Amino acid sequence: MDSPGLVRMGRHYATGETIELAWNPDGRIERTLPYDGDGEMWIAPGLIDLQINGGYGHDFNSLPLTTETVIQATRRLWEKGVTLYYPTIITNGNEEIEQLLRVIDAACLEDETVGSTIGGIHLEGPFLSPEEGPKGAHDSRYIKAPDWSLFTRWQEASGNRIRIVTLSPEWPEAADFIRACAKAGIVVSIGHTAATPEQIREAVDAGATMSTHLGNGAHLTLPRHPNYIWEQLAQDRLWAGIIADGYHLPDSVIKVMLRAKPSKALLVSDAVYLSGMPPGEYETHIGGHVVLTSEGRLHLARKPELLAGSAMMLADAVWRLAQSGLCTFPEAWDMASMLPAQAVGQTESYGLRRGAQADFVLLEKHKGNLRIVETVKGGRSVYRAAQ
């Protein structure tokens, strides 16, 4: 889909000022200037989802995965305002993970715009805690200690696209593995862990910079203190990934996290392929037999107390968080765009400013809902809503 013109007008999502945003043919923003006008349309940076397993029936973790599945999933994400995302590959057999990585790489090579939308691959497992609770719905048969040789093989299969690795620092091999990742420019995120506070601190010193869906992938009960959640909240060097779908964390917990991480909290969807699907019972790679309720809660059929991922897309989580009163709409949007860009080192190329890549959305707030009207990726209009 080509763009009719290289200029858009709308209200700046943070200031409310009406602006004219123009970009060059090379897809870089040329100017953002005040514009004498008004309207209901808003302009905001494109959303960045650092953790997403699929959506609308498209699953990044089911074999056989095809390049068409990845391409179609990307197109659906454009409809939800996402201009950069990290397809998340979870715990599986060694060969299965390698196959999935190869297909995502092939999809990026097959479609240039899809390739630029996929910022990298997020490997969530198998280097996780084997304990019940922290491992969540990950298959314990495949959970193992961090293995740099194995990871190097996977990285080669991915076309060097693995940019985020979630692991548990409780393994003796973790610190050396984290140092190797940091040296290679790979973001290490602490998650699905039963690590001691000392192990958390050692991981941060080794180069870990993020927490994966903090407060989830944890024991159902924890010591009051110390514990691995408090320790991650206390570590100022860690970005805190938060799932704000209304089920993974109570609003009171999110409120505390936002206060502990006022400039380092970011939203992720953790959406699985059932996002956007009708309620019912389904079979998934993670968790097996699961139930999606009419309220949008996704849980294991045999253990309803355990969630099996999120069924809410990132834009909907942003709107829900803003409507909750825990933060303003611009703050919530930044937690799903500008702050994730910082967390993965994309600060210089993102945002509504001169020289940044023209990744932005036009949206409207209508009757208590958020509607994506247009998504522009690298200066190209990749989605426009029907009139």
Spell out the domains of the chain, with CATH numbers in brackets.
7-43+354-384 (2.30.40.10), 45-348 (3.20.20.140)
Give the pLDDT band of residue 5 (cuts 50, 70, 90): low
Q: What are residue 242's DSSP bridge partners? A: 267
265 - beta bridge partners? 240
Q: What does the mean pLDDT of the chain come to?
A: 95
pLDDT of residue 347: 83
Residue 1 binned pLDDT confidence (cut-offs 50, 70, 90): very low
b/e sequence 190-221, b meaning 16+ C-beta within 10 Å:
bbbbbbebebbbbbbebbbbbbbbbbbbbeee
pLDDT at 380: 96
Residue 53 has pLDDT above 70, yes or no: yes
For the beta carbon of residue 371, count every other beta carbon within 10 angstroms: 14
Query: What confidence score (pLDDT) does residue 2 get?
Result: 44
pLDDT of residue 225: 93
Greatest Cα pair distance, the chain, in angstroms, is: 62
Q: In this structure, which amino acid lies at residue 34?
A: P
- Mean pLDDT, rounded, for 112-128: 98
CB 357 within 8 A of CB 116: no
The per-residue pLDDT for range 93-106, each reduced to its tens digit, is 999 999 999 999 99
366 has a pLDDT exceeding 80:
no
pLDDT at 118 over 90: yes
Query: Angle 163-165-166 (CA atoms, 0-180°, nearest 5)?
Result: 150
pLDDT > 50? residue 150: yes
Q: What are phi and psi of 165, to 5 degrees?
A: -130, 125
User: In the 8-state DSSP scheme, what is residue 278?
Assistant: P
The arithmetic mean of pLDDT across residues 191-203, rounded, is 98
pLDDT higher than 70, residue 324: yes
Three-class secondary structure assignment of 122-148: EEECCCCCCCCCCCCCCCCCCCCCCCH
What's the average model confidence in pLDDT over 319-331?
A: 96
> What confidence tens digit (pLDDT) does each residue in 170-185 have?
999 999 999 999 999 9
pLDDT value at residue 367: 72
pLDDT of residue 36: 83
pLDDT confidence bin for 142, thresholds 50/70/90: very high
Q: Give the amino acid at 293.
A: T
Instruction: Please report, in angstroms and rounded to a whole number, the separation of the first and last CA atoms in the chain.
Output: 16
CB neighbour list of residue 9: distance below 8 Å, 6 or more residues apart:
18, 19, 20, 21, 35, 37, 39, 41
Q: What is the pLDDT at residue 13?
A: 97
pLDDT bucket at 4, cuts 50 / 70 / 90: very low
Q: Residue 41 and residue 16: Cα distance in Å, rounded?
A: 10
Contact predicate 298/272, CB 8 Å? yes
Task: Tell me how far apart the alpha carbons of residues 126 and 153 are, in angstroms, rounded to a whole number.
Answer: 14
Mean pLDDT of 367-386: 94
> Edge-to-edge strands of the sheet including 298-300?
280-284, 288-292, 298-300
Q: Who contacts 112 (Cβ-Cβ below 8 Å, separation ≥6)?
A: none
Distance separating alpha carbons of residues 69 and 92, to the nearest angstrom: 19
pLDDT at 88 over 50: yes
pLDDT above 70 as % of the chain: 98
* pLDDT value at residue 228: 98
Across the range 345-356, mean pLDDT stands at: 91
* Residue 84 in this model has a pLDDT that exceeds 50: yes
Q: Is the pLDDT of residue 3 over 50?
A: no
Residue 39 has pLDDT above 90, yes or no: no
Residue 387 has pLDDT above 90, yes or no: no
Residue 62 has pLDDT above 80, yes or no: yes
Does position 52 have pLDDT exceeding 90, yes or no? yes
Counting Cα atoms < 13 Å in the Cβ hemisphere of 328 gives: 8
Task: Output 135 or 2, whichever has higher pLDDT.
Answer: 135
Q: Does residue 385 have a pLDDT over 60?
A: yes
